Chains A and B, each alone.
Chain A
């Protein structure tokens, strides 16, 4: 499903990702862990098509389609969703307007046509309920003045609404309280399915207790340096990245 091969990425002429290779087949959830500054967010931004993240070498495809030449909205239309590590505030734009515009855009791209106002409201309310979010949150401007945890829940809400084919969650667990973590994880688990792939970036084993990954990768210095099963996360939790990184230097 998601295939990344020998990817190299520059930001401002500085190489951040160098030779990253990773495959997530449909139906699987892969976790990516790695030290601060190792390039996890850079990878997610690059896949989502952010300006200034220049892929200088390698390839990235989703469902066989080349991602790297596309505009961000075209990638979204292909079904790529990124839950941001730092969700962006958009002053003056009501959350409801935002999700409606987004949903209509992706539905149009999928050839499904726009939802009626009533159907839209029903759909939103159902998801709000699932995620334990108060509707009042969508009356406020997007993310403006939201607490860290509220922002993350809002990301998952959008993900659930847009029904993407492939989800990247960039540290969606940071900032969530214990109960919220479970609610959000349940939300993510509900979305697991044979057609959908997920890349879950996290620093903590805790999240992976709830969202059982098929594989765990360690990203360091811009590359995947180790891959294993769920037990790798436990091992890292216990020992840190020292051993993995030491192996690298050797």
Chain B
């Protein structure tokens, strides 16, 4: 093969590996580079926010200045230069927020089509999907579909910026109620400079008539994404929500620090699924997203339930612990996680289940897969407070190693302050089975496909928690993210 043909083949192969790595060429408006009170004011002004929110942000910023970046994760990365990034980037065409999809820049619509997310409602209806989508491009939400249909059911599904304008009382009541703005370093940063994200409100007794989803896309260079999502499920309501994420392939690292807050009232249930496929960097660890996320649910009401399902395949660094505060009696928290780290990726992820109410139950199923030179850690806290009479937790934590240069680590923390509470923990670590691979290969299945098959089997318990439409996608993603992990 000639040198050029080889290069072309290389590029094609790379693109095949991370097919979301393209850049949309679109004119964007930025905040001045760096982080200061002025940046915070700029963002707040751009979003036309009420005075109290600007103050709220500024206070978060001041707290952040006094905080230290956490260093307890099993993660290694060079110091992040918070001054060398943009905290706001919006497609210019979006300046006057589009009223309907017809007003959305066609270039953006094309981007989402390329990503496999048709935004036009008729296209979605033509497909099998019955899903409403909010799409966040860099710092702003560009479109939310099916709003009318949802409004008929009384469901509010919009960007958080819009909710701040339209439903300030709900925002004021709930924002920061689950994740206080000084909860941790990255939450404080987010509280200061959050740009967009989704807002969901399900009224009492309503079962949301369709899946809701938000699609996050980082496009601009040198830009962080700081989204905030807030979901409130009133008494007896139900919603299933899914978020997906991708970013272009770039040589520099980009910061993503999100905050997600969920609140369930009595007998309400939120099922929150994530398929995280941020650009992971190349096989030498160049580029990729730094993903520092704070996700927490407050099961405020009795018998309420929150179920987190995550499939984490992307990002150079993942620092993320979707948690549940089980306050209501008989409330339930679930955490189902697949975390794949290949090449030079590092993941430190898990959950916290804080049992307060009586007979609260939690279930943690974590499947960690490490390949290449990656490091993958499960970190989980199960805490039984003195009030957690007869509370129960079951944790199962399985790690799978592919190759002998990667690492898997498990850090379970158990704190029980109630003698009637039960905590059960099981953990396994194993190498991918040569016998299983050989059996597949004897049947004609190629090595990479065999690995994908076996790993998908390993993750099944978690993947089957995903809404059906996404389970298939997630399986493919598992395969793609393991490419190059054998041979």
Contacts and interface: CB of A to CB of B under 8 A. Distances in A.
Interface of A: 48-51, 71-73, 75-77, 81-82, 84, 87-93, 97-98, 101-102, 105-106, 109, 141, 158, 162
B436 to A, nearest CB: 5
A101 B453 CA distance: 9
A91 B444 CA distance: 19
A101 B454 CA distance: 12
Contacts of A162: 443-444
Given A102-B445, A106-B444, A158-B443, A88 B453 contact: no
A109 B456 contact: no
Interface stretch (B5-13, B256-264, B281-289, B458-466): B458-466
B445 A105 contact: yes
Contacts of A105: 443-446, 449
Given A72-B441, A81-B442, 14 more contacts: A73-B445, A76-B442, A77-B444, A88-B435, A88-B436, A90-B440, A91-B458, A92-B458, A93-B453, A101-B445, A102-B440, A102-B443, A106-B444, A162-B444
Contact of A76 (B433, B443, B449, B460): B443
B106 interface: no
A23 B220 CA distance: 65
Nearest to B438: A50
A106 B445 CA distance: 8
Contacts of B461: 92
B439 A87 contact: yes
23 contacts: A49-B442, A50-B438, A51-B438, A72-B438, A73-B441, A73-B444, A73-B450, A76-B441, A76-B442, A87-B439, A88-B435, A88-B439, A90-B436, A90-B457, A91-B457, A91-B458, A92-B457, A93-B456, A93-B457, A93-B460, A97-B453, A101-B440, A106-B443
A81 B449 CA distance: 18
B474 to A, nearest CB: 14
B103 interface: no
Interface string B169-190: 0000000000000000000000
Nearest to A77: B444
A101 B445 CA distance: 7
Contacts of B445: 73, 101-102, 105
A84 to B, nearest CB: 7
Contacts of B443: 76, 98, 102, 105-106, 158, 162
Q: Considering residues B443, B458, B460, B461, which has the most beta carbons from chain A within 10 angstroms of its beta carbon?
A: B443
A92 B402 CA distance: 17
Contacts of A89: 436
Interface in B22-39: none
Contacts of A76: 441-444
B83 interface: no
A39 B444 CA distance: 24
Nearest to A86: B435
A141 B447 contact: no
Q: Considering residues A51, A73, A76, which has the most beta carbons from chain B within 10 angstroms of its beta carbon?
A: A73
A17 B313 CA distance: 45
A250 B389 CA distance: 79
